């Protein structure tokens, strides 16, 4: 009898089913759908074999035609069901969950399926045997072929339409699976004695299993916990179906610089075991030293978290500490993207325990908005440079100015740097932003207008982060050459924090720039820790007294003495001083009398756009 291929297929699919059922499972929608498709495949193969046997018996030995017809019908109904489950498996994770049309598509496919099954059951079916050729025919079979074709096409179309939102591997596996089906159907149609469709569908399941439902993707080999990939799929599922969850995350921080490998293994394994022992909820290893467990509700998570913390506090033989991130309610985040962004941001926190709150999520949103603002401004050339002139006391004129960055909103309003520089420093955007500011300053200088009215130097702010990468001096040289800018026209303002980060690399870069004729000043003097070391060892010629420092001078006796004393020391060291934040005539007089070289402040001018700045110079110089 013509059932060898189907028996082989049944054997294959059985093996897959056993492997699938034996695995450690994560409750994922895709896995449920895949399992459904496997079951349909098994049932379909069994009835395929049964129908071939019964058709033979019925025609050759007079077995009951009613039962035979019924079995033939069940077989084709299962065949359609298999196509339908395949389509569901392919489309459920792709169609947008919140769109009305997607819901309608799903409802329509359910209705077509149900109506098709009823039709196949109701319509007549015939069957025939010619040697090894065994087949059924009639209206019921025609409906089955039509529906199977519809589901194959729908699966292929969905896969093609969403190719961008799936990994390449999934795309290939889906097309291969459906392609095999089509090929088998075509062969079976041309050579009816080769009953290939059942075999092809079992083989398709093997492809899906190996490529998409492969357990090694989801299980971390060394700890047996679930992987980041698994977490990603799991969390996406939860948000897709609007299910809230709570999450507990623990990160191991080793307290010594060089961690012994076996000690690290011990710490990791012990953590993994502790997490597994705590309950049936899924535990994940999401990084070498980061673990998390997902709970259905907050109370359970808090209870378990306390337990884990207690266990950790009892560990004395491994020099490590833990930091913990608790997310009591996943629904304070808008979706899985925001969830993972939150995780990445706050897992880096040095705080021992961070508890996710609405405020933290909002802060993250603001930071993200600012990052977008900066990126858009850079892309759309809405970064502007304003100039604030300094009054040169000895020469009674304005020969130096500070370049201060602004972002122009689309509506024309301005965003001050205080709102985006801190974010840019943290995100690294300060690098392209700083380069853009420097280019604009070079453009201004290359036009020669400002020099015509007596300007000799422009001071450009350099952030600490700009010195943290290998070659910050390069863009300075490149732009000076491109715009024909004399190095003597440029002064760079650095801060003490910049000096504190990587003094060796910074000094190297500063000296390269100084060798070319660029000068430096030390910004924000008088804030934070004013380590004497900085200006003793740093090659700076100008010290800028911060607003708060000069303000303190007018408000506080002690600050007055410190500032006066500092000024004396700095002058003896041959440095010049800029007093910032001078707003009134009286303050200006006092600073002048004290012997400050430059005065910067609203009293003379606010930071001005380039054209107003040029007019200012033209009038005042």
Interface with ligand C2E (CB under 6 A): 388, 404-405, 416-418, 421, 430, 434, 437, 461, 463, 523-524, 547, 581-583, 600-602, 607
CB of 178 to ligand C2E, least distance (A): 55
**From 117, 220, 289, 493, residue interacting with Ca ion (rule: CB under 5 A):** 493
Site string for Ca ion, 421-460 (x = CB under 5 A): ----------------------------------------
C-beta of 79 vs 374, nearer to ligand C2E: 374
- Cα dihedral 154→34→185→76 (10° resolution): -90
CB of 431 to ligand C2E, least distance (A): 10
Q: Which does 581 bind (CB under 5 to 8 A by kind): ligand C2E, Ca ion, none?
A: ligand C2E
CB of 465 to ligand C2E, least distance (A): 8
- Cα dihedral 372→375→380→383 (10° resolution): 110
C-beta of 117 vs 523, nearer to ligand C2E: 523
C-beta of 28 vs 582, nearer to ligand C2E: 582
Q: Which does 237 bind (CB under 5 to 8 A by kind): Ca ion, ligand C2E, none?
A: none
**Helix, strand or coil, per DSSP, at residue 400:** strand
CB of 451 to ligand C2E, least distance (A): 21
Q: Which does 583 bind (CB under 5 to 8 A by kind): Ca ion, ligand C2E, none?
A: ligand C2E
Q: Give dist(CA 357, CA 348) in Å, integer.
A: 17
CB of 365 to Ca ion, least distance (A): 29
Yes or no: say if 2 and 132 are a contact pair by the CB < 8 Å rule: yes
Yes or no: say if 485 and 445 are a contact pair by the CB < 8 Å rule: yes
Q: Which does 325 bind (CB under 5 to 8 A by kind): Ca ion, ligand C2E, none?
A: none
CB of 403 to ligand C2E, least distance (A): 6
C-beta of 174 vs 464, nearer to ligand C2E: 464
Closest among 344, 378, 382 to 364, alpha carbons compared: 344
C-beta of 162 vs 390, nearer to ligand C2E: 390
Neighbours of 166 (CB within 10 A): 17
Q: Is 496 in the site for Ca ion (CB under 5 A)?
A: no
Closest among 13, 93, 21 to 45, alpha carbons compared: 13
3-state helix, strand, coil in the chain (%, to 5): 60, 15, 25
What burial class does residue 430 get, using C-beta atoms within 10 Å of its C-beta: 0-12 exposed, 13-18 middle, 19+ buried? buried
DSSP code of 226?
A: B
CB of 363 to ligand C2E, least distance (A): 20
H-type helices in 162-297, by residue range?
168-190, 197-211, 215-218, 228-240, 261-277
Q: Which does 137 bind (CB under 5 to 8 A by kind): Ca ion, ligand C2E, none?
A: none
User: DSSP states of 518-585 as a string?
Assistant: -EEEEEEETSS---HHHHHHS--SEEEE-HHHHHHHHH-HHHHHHHHHHHHHHHHTT-EEEE----SH
CB of 224 to ligand C2E, least distance (A): 48
| CA-to-CA dists, residue 510 to 309, 429, 436, 459, 488, angstroms | 47, 21, 20, 15, 14
C-beta of 11 vs 469, nearer to ligand C2E: 469
C-beta of 85 vs 525, nearer to ligand C2E: 525
Note the residues at the interface with Ca ion (CB under 5 A). 461, 493, 523-524
């Amino acid at each position: 009898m013509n059932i060898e291929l189907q028996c082989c297929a049944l054997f294959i699919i059985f093996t897959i089913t056993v492997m699938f059922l034996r695995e450690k499972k994560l409750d994922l929608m895709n896995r449920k759908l895949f399992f459904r498709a496997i079951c349909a495949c098994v049932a379909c193969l069994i009835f395929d074999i049964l129908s071939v046997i019964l058709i033979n018996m019925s025609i050759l030995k007079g077995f009951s035609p009613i039962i035979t017809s019924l079995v033939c019908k069940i077989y084709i109904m299962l065949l359609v069901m298999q196509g339908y489950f395949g389509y569901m498996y392919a489309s459920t994770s792709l169609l947008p969950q919140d769109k009305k049309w997607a819901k309608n598509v799903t409802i329509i496919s359910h209705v077509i399926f149900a109506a098709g099954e009823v039709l196949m059951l109701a319509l007549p079916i015939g069957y025939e045997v010619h040697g090894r050729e065994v087949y059924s025919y009639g209206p019921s079979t025609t409906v089955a072929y039509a529906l199977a074709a519809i589901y194959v096409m729908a699966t292929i179309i969905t896969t093609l339409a969403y190719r961008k939102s799936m990994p390449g591997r999934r795309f290939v596996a889906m097309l291969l699976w459906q392609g095999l089906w089509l090929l088998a159907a075509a062969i079976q149609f041309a050579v009816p004695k080769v009953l290939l469709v059942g075999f092809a569908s079992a083989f398709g399941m093997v492809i899906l299993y190996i490529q998409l439902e492969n357990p090694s993707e989801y299980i971390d080999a060394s700890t047996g916990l679930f992987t980041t990939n698994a977490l990603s799929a799991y969390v996406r599922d939860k948000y897709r179906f609007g299910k809230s969850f709570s999450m507990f995350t623990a990160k191991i921080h080793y307290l010594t610089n060089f961690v012994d490998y076996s000690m690290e293994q011990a710490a990791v394994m012990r953590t993994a075991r502790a997490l597994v022992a705590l309950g049936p909820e899924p535990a994940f290893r999401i990084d070498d030293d980061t673990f998390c467990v997902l709970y259905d509700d907050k109370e359970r998570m808090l209870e378990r978290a306390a337990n884990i913390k207690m266990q950790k506090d009892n560990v004395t033989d491994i020099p490590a500490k833990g930091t913990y991130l608790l997310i009591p309610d996943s629904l304070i985040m808008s979706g899985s993207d925001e969830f993972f962004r939150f995780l990445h941001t706050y897992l880096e926190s040095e705080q021992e325990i961070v508890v996710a709150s609405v405020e933290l999520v909002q802060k993250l949103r603001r930071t993200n908005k600012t990052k977008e603002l900066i990126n858009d401004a850079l892309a759309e050339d809405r970064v502007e440079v304003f100039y604030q002139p300094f009054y040169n006391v000895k020469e009674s004129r304005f020969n130096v100015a500070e370049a201060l960055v602004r972002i122009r909103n689309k509506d024309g309003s301005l965003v001050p740097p205080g709102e985006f520089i801190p974010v840019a420093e943290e995100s690294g955007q300060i690098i392209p932003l700083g380069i853009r500011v420097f280019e604009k300053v070079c453009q201004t200088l290359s036009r020669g207008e400002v020099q015509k009215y007596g300007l000799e130097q422009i001071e450009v702010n350099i952030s600490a982060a700009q010195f943290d990468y290998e070659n910050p001096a390069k863009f300075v040289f490149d732009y000076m050459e491109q715009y024909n800018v004399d190095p003597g026209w440029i002064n760079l303002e650095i801060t003490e924090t910049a000096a504190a980060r990587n003094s060796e690399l910074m000094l190297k870069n500063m000296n390269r720039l100084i060798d070319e004729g660029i000068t430096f000043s030390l910004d924000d003097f008088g804030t934070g820790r004013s380590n004497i070391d900085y200006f003793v060892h740093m090659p700076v010629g100008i010290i800028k007294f911060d607003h708060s420092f000069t303000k303190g001078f007018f408000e506080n006796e002690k600050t007055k003495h410190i500032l006066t004393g500092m000024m004396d020391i700095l002058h003896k060291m041959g440095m010049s001083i800029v007093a910032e934040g001078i707003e009134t005539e009286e303050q200006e007089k006092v600073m002048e009398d004290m012997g400050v070289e430059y005065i910067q402040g609203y009293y003379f001018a606010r930071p001005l756009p380039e054209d107003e700045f040029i007019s200012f110079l033209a009038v005042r110089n």
